[in-house]
Structure 1
Amino acid sequence: MITRKSRADLEKDDFRMMLPRWSEENFPGNLVVVDKIHAIAEKYGQTPSRVTLAWILSEHPTWFAIPDSRTIARLEANARAVDLRLVPENLEEIRKLSEDASV
């Protein structure tokens, strides 16, 4: 979702179509969150995925995030999230987005 894929981009049998977050009624609200993450990423000159991973690592240092890494290049890009330090204001903004997400 962070890549702004829409429901129309998915195959009908894609497992995400069964998840509440991807439902017809919830999807538009989730895109609002995605747009805000994209805006934060632009400030840093980073990808939204990397910003999201950096936030997860900052908020939950004992968690192990498993991002989509279908290529070596994507794996390397995702791994660089450990070096991204978000300012407290952005960490709080993302935390609030996460807390306010209803699904």
Structure 2
Amino acid sequence: MRRDVFQAIADPVRRDIIALLAEQTMSINSIAEKFDISRPAISKHLKILEECDLISIHKQGRERYCLIKPKNLVPAFLWIDQYKILWEEKLDSFENYLNKLQSKTEQNE
């Protein structure tokens, strides 16, 4: 099955794993300890992240370590970034509306 970065970040557990690995390289066991789900479930999430080329897994002694590949998150960032202006306009509009309501409330007091 061909997977992409959007499938990888669609799941909150995988987003949390990405956040952990953004801070440091971790062993699979260390990652699994951070979650209240089974070790096989974590392994499945890691496999998907690896298939999407967002992490690499390498063996060091008896442990397997996961290393993030942050540049492969760029397509998702670029897609999301194109909507930044739209979101900012909507939030600014909402803020202006709230300010007008507050002004009317203060005038009526």
Q: TM-score, normalised by structure 2?
A: 0.29
* TM-score (norm. length: structure 1): 0.30
Indicate the structure (1 or 2) with the bigger Cα radius of gyration: 2
